Amino acid sequence: MYRLAADVFNDAAMLLDCLSPALPRGPRVLLLSSSSMLRALCGVAAGSSKASLSAHFAKWGNLGELNAKDSSQETVISLMGMLAGSVVVSYVSSPITTWTCLILLLSIHLAMNRAAVRAVMLHSLNRQRANLVISTYLDRNKVLTPKEVSVQEWIFEWNGVLRWRSSSPLAAARIGSSLQDLLASLGPARERSQRTGSIRDTEARLMGLIRLYRQEEFLVWYDAPQRLGHIILKEGAAAESQLKAWALVLWIAHRRHAAGGDATSAVFESSVELHRRTLQELSLQWSNCTTRLRKAGWDLDNGSLETRSGSRIRLNVNNDS
What pLDDT, on a 0 to 100 scale, did the predictor assign at position 67?
Answer: 76
Helices marked H in the chain:
2-19, 25-57, 63-88, 95-119, 127-140, 146-152, 179-186, 189-194, 198-212, 239-258, 268-295
Q: In this structure, what DSSP letter does residue 264 have?
A: G
Distance in angstroms between the alpha carbons of the first and the last residue of the chain: 47
pLDDT tens digits, one per residue of 43-68: 888 877 777 777 767 677 777 777 78
What pLDDT, on a 0 to 100 scale, did the predictor assign at position 203?
Answer: 79
In order of 86, 108, 224, 285, the CA distances from 209 in angstroms are 68, 53, 16, 22
Inform me whether the pLDDT recorded for 137 exceeds 60. yes
What pLDDT, on a 0 to 100 scale, did the predictor assign at position 321?
Answer: 43
What pLDDT, on a 0 to 100 scale, did the predictor assign at position 309?
Answer: 76
What pLDDT, on a 0 to 100 scale, did the predictor assign at position 193?
Answer: 43
pLDDT tens digits, one per residue of 248-275: 999 999 998 888 754 444 566 678 889 9
Kindly state the average pLDDT of the residues 296-303.
87
pLDDT tens digits, one per residue of 198-210: 556 777 888 888 8
What pLDDT, on a 0 to 100 scale, did the predictor assign at position 133?
Answer: 94
Helix axes 198-212 and 268-295, enclosed angle (nearest 10): 30
Closest CA to 303 of 205, 252, 253, 231: 231
pLDDT band at 177 (very low <50, low <70, confident <90, very high): confident
Kindly state the average pLDDT of the residues 2-9.
84
What pLDDT, on a 0 to 100 scale, did the predictor assign at position 191?
Answer: 46
Q: Give the rounded percent of residues in the chain with a pLDDT score beyond 70.
A: 90
Lowest mean pLDDT among 39-43, 45-49, 213-217: 45-49
What pLDDT, on a 0 to 100 scale, did the predictor assign at position 318?
Answer: 59
Lowest mean pLDDT among 34-43, 185-194, 230-239: 185-194
Q: Is-contact 94 30, C-beta < 8 A?
A: no
Inform me whether the pLDDT recorded for 197 exceeds 80. no
Q: What is the CA radius of gyration of the chain?
A: 25
Q: Is-contact 166 195, C-beta < 8 A?
A: no
What pLDDT, on a 0 to 100 scale, did the predictor assign at position 244?
Answer: 95
Is the pTM of the predicted complex or chain greater than 0.85?
no
